[in-house]
Amino acid sequence: MVTGQVPGAAPGGGSGIPAGTSRARMNIGQVLDELRPDFPGVTIPKIRFLEDKGLIKPERTPAGYRKFSADDVERLRYVLRMQRDHYLPLKVIGEHLDAIDRGLEPPPIEPVVPTVPRVALAADGLPSPESFRRHDNLRLSRRELLKIAQVSEELLDQLEQYALVTPRAGTGHYDTDALVIAQTARELAEFGLEPRHLRAFKTAADREVGLVEQVVAPLRGGRDAAAHARADDAVSEIAALSVRMHATLVKVGLKRS
């Protein structure tokens, strides 16, 4: 099969590899270094997942190690760009690549959907109190949620079955939290974690919610508006601290294992 040039690739491969070394082969770590400046979230498991889906086919050494060509890197760039900028599912991206491999132009890309709000994160990457105070008016249809989160109907059905994702009451629309959970569940699924495995996260979260509500209950008992404001602030602060505690304890536990 003849490989065509991926759209958007710079002449000579565009991967930062010096001219004259187009036949050079890189290991997966070197590929990661090539991609991360433009795609900070890319990981080795992600690259392996895309290979499993047949979107790239790196060579294998007799010992079984992957060796990537400049064309492989450009195909990865194309896949990651289509996911990030156009929210295309992998099946559609695969059809684009197949067209390119056969010397055809890929089909026109649909207009990019509106950008969804980013969750406010603290400098250390953990949610800040502000992220718990934020309330946006994002409303996504089921079709939009499936497309933007890049999840299948089956995965979303399972997430709803275990009450990990629920539409807004009375509207049938999904909010930012549902989108984040669906996206995260998809990424966890790449490591073999299915929605049924995520029930423990839901159980732990419900316990933390109960603890927070127990602490702020006396504040909510006040009759003045200031008391309710203080309660809302306390909820945000405690929630952010509890997530920090939880994340740090998980990190400590993993260091010991």
Residues 84-91 have a mean pLDDT of 86
Residues 93-102 have a mean pLDDT of 89
Q: What is the pLDDT of residues 151-187, one digit of tens each?
A: 999 999 999 999 999 998 888 899 888 999 999 999 9
Residues 44-49 have a mean pLDDT of 92
- Could you tell me the pLDDT band of residue 1, with boundaries at 50, 70 and 90? very low
- Choose the weakest-confidence range: 116-130, 148-162, 210-224: 116-130
Domains in the chain: boundaries: 11-101, 129-256
Pull the structure tokens for residue 92: 């559609």
Confidence check: pLDDT of 34 > 90: yes
Confidence check: pLDDT of 10 > 70: no
Residue range 11-101 in CATH 1.10.1660.10: yes
Confidence check: pLDDT of 257 > 70: no
pLDDT > 70: percent of the chain: 84
